[in-house]
Amino acid sequence: MYDPSIGKESLTTVDVVGVLVGHFLFGVAATLLIDWSWIPLSPQQKNSGRSLKEIKSNWGWDEKTDNKTKSLLSSKKREAFAEETKE
């Protein structure tokens, strides 16, 4: 990008790509490493998708949970929610 104050290119493609990649990596790290459970959710929002806790347990980040039990429970919750919304 041309900067008229200095009369030459001041922002290169490498700079732009570096900033975008850095922001993406920060976003992924903030999503996975910060505990977001303090944000209040309505019952509909809780039933409509998997929680971050479930996602972490499925990836093996929470060694104390049983992945099969969690995934079965979440699929049953989604099925129940789908039936409720059809009515």
The reply to whether 30 and 51 lie within a common domain is no
The reply to whether 22 and 62 lie within a common domain is no
Number of structural domains in the chain: 2
pTM: 0.43
Residue 53's pLDDT is what? Answer: 78
Contact 9, 3 (CB under 8 A): yes
* 78 against 10, higher pLDDT: 10
Predicted confidence (pLDDT) per residue in 21-80, tens digit: 999 999 999 988 888 778 787 888 778 877 777 877 888 877 664 545 555 556 666 677
Sign of the alpha-carbon dihedral angle for 19, 25, 28, 29? negative
The reply to whether 52 and 84 lie within a common domain is yes
* 82 against 11, higher pLDDT: 11
Angle (CA) 51 56 27, round 5°: 85
Residue that the structure tokens 């509909």 belong to: 44
End-to-end alpha-carbon separation of the chain, Å?
A: 56
Q: Which structural domain, as residue segments, surrounds residue 75?
A: 39-87
